[in-house]
């Protein structure tokens, strides 16, 4: 592994009532795109890029879905933390 490269993953729960719909997916993709690392979201056995809004939508994460946010690269930890805080504050929804 290159110097400074990290690999981080953490599990989160989709807790807003409408699940990951377009506006939420936009928040995730927009945030993920700001990091240099590759960022993924995994649900069940499917893994998609967190930087693609359409990929996120195809993951079909409803209310209560469990997902794993993972990242690999120089700012992987920061990316997972940032995305994690989005999940925790329910994307600003109820």
Partner 1 sequence: MEEITFRLKGVGVSQGIAIGKAFVVQKGPVSIPYYTLWSDEAIEEECQRFEEAVRLVEEDLFGIKEGLKNDLRQYASLLDAYRLMLRDRLIYDGTLSLIREKQLNALWALSLTLSKAREIFDGQDRFADRFYDIGSVIDRLMRKLSGGQEDIFSLIRERSILVTHDLSPSDAAQLPLEKVMAFVLDIGGKTSHTAIIARSLNIPAVMATEQASKKIQTGDLLIVDGTSGQVIINPSEEDIQHYIELQLRLDTYLRDIAREASLPAVTRDGFRVVVEANIELLEEIVTAKDNGADGIGLFRTEFGFMNRDDLPTEEELYQEYKQLAELMAPGEVIIRTLDVGSDKLSAWFPPLHEPNPALGLRSVRFCLRHPEIMKIQMKAILRTGAIAGNVKMMFPLISGIGEWRAVKKILREAQEELWRFRIPFDENMPIGIMVEVPSAVAIADLLAREVDFFSIGTNDLIQYALAIDRQNEHVAHLFEALHPAILRMLHFVVREGHRAGISVSLCGEMAGEPFYVPILLGLGFDKLSMNPQSIPRVKNLIRRSSKDQCEALVKEVLRKDTAEDIRGLLMETVEKQFPEEYHFFHSGFVV
Name residue 23's beta-bridge partners. none
Per CB under 8 A, which of residues 23..82 are in contact with partner 1? 23, 25-27, 29-30, 52-55, 57-58, 60, 62-66
Q: Which residues belong to the active site?
A: 21
Supply φ then ψ for residue 48, to 5 degrees. -130, 160
The SS3 call for residue 29 is helix
Strand boundaries in the chain, DSSP class E = 6-13, 38-43, 46-49, 66-73
> 6 or 65: whose CB is closer to partner 1?
65
Closest CB 44 distance from partner 1, rounded Å: 11
Please give the residue ranges that form the binding site for partner 1 (CB under 8 A): 12-13, 15-16, 21-23, 25-27, 29-30, 52-55, 57-58, 60, 62-66, 88, 90, 94
């Amino acid at each position: 592994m290159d110097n400074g490269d990290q690999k981080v993953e953490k599990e989160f729960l989709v807790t807003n009532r409408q699940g990951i719909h377009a506006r939420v997916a936009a928040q995730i993709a927009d945030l993920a795109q700001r990091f240099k690392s590759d960022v993924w979201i995994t649900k069940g056995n499917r893994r998609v890029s967190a930087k693609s809004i359409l990929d996120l939508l195809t993951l079909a994460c409803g209310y209560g879905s469990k997902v794993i946010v993972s990242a690999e690269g120089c700012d992987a930890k920061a990316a997972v933390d940032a995305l994690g805080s989005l999940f925790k504050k329910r994307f600003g929804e109820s």
